[in-house]
Amino acid sequence: MIWITRERPKIDRIACPWLIKRFIDPEAEIIFAPENLVIDLAQSTGGTPFDIPGVAYTHYEDRCTFDYFVEKHQITDPAILAMCPIIRGADTDDHLLAAQSAGLWAISAGLAYNIADDQQLLAQGMVIYDALYSWARHLQSVKHTQSPTEQLLLAVLHAYTDSANRKKPPVWVRELKAMIQDQIDMNLALSLTELSESLAVNPAYVSRTFARYFDDLSFGEYIRKLRIDKAIQLLESTNYSLTEIAYLTGFSDQSHFTRIFKKQIGKTPSEHRKSLKK
């Protein structure tokens, strides 16, 4: 089936063809034409016009054409329903509808600026909406944060430099702490290797001398201790599931978390939580 809309697409006129091809008509042919020719071209080809005034598939009140496609074809996929306010917000400049709307608009506008050919633009847009769909279906609860090791490194440094009973730390430790704080304040990702290079201190040296300042524990042992301490705090103060706590404390999965926790504490996380309730 042929679907026809205005040329130079950005939001709706990329999102709708994506929806058509992925959920309505996999063999669809999408044609972009000057707005004044869309209706005539639809009549001559038997195609269906969309996202122009006066046709069925278009904006209604505060809703965009993508919303109409979803309702008209009774699409109930939760991921698609989650995408609706994002696309509507981007297409109508109401970026308060969804946190992702402004980003989608910026990417779409930049894509249209870079690509002059509408079919090529559609091809690239298909990739973007495939990615947005995957996020909506699988990744909405995933946060882009620093890696657990980097967070734990920060905790290690604070534990080391804030202790009154320890020896005066080397100059590089104080400088590293300041650099980390600067980067956190600017919301930048941390990299131990890059920070070490900036300090002119070899990461291998930090690793080799670590036990000297941390109760004869290796870096790995101390990290595990911090992970378990953090897990105990979350078990005692939140209702997070064991899987969520395993993720937040840097374990590969719940099984790994349970095994290490029992080895360190003598009981499983579930048993520990139950004992708190008693």
Whether 59 and 89 share a structural domain: yes
Model pLDDT, residue 181: 44
The owner of tokens 């905790």 is 155
Which of 87, 115, 139 is the last residue before a domain boundary?
139
Specify the pTM.
Answer: 0.55
Q: What is the CATH number of the domain that holds 205?
A: 1.10.10.60
Task: Specify the long-range contacts of residues 36-44, CB closer than 8 Å, at least 24 apart.
Answer: 38/4, 38/5, 38/6, 41/4, 42/2, 42/4
User: Are 120 and 152 in a shared domain?
Assistant: no
**Last residue in a domain, options 80, 111, 139:** 139
Name the domain boundary from 85, 115, 139: 139
Type of residue numbered 96: L
Same domain, 87 and 174: no
Which positions ≥6 away from 13 have C-beta within 8 Å? 5, 6, 32, 50, 51, 65
**pLDDT under 70: residue ranges of the chain:** 143-169, 172-201, 203-204, 206-207, 209-210, 214, 218-220, 222-223, 252, 278
Domain range holding 268?
Answer: 148-277
* CA distances for 122 relative to 25, 43, 110, 125, 168, angstroms: 16, 23, 13, 5, 61
Structure tokens at 125: 């847009």
**152 and 133 share one domain:** no
Q: How many domains does the chain have?
A: 2
Dist. CA 248–CA 99, nearest whole Å? 23
Per-residue pLDDT at 187: 37
Number of Cβ within a 10 Å radius of residue 64: 22
| Percent with pLDDT over 90 in the chain | 50
pLDDT digits (tens, 9 = 90+) for 9-50: 999 999 999 999 999 999 999 999 999 999 999 999 999 999
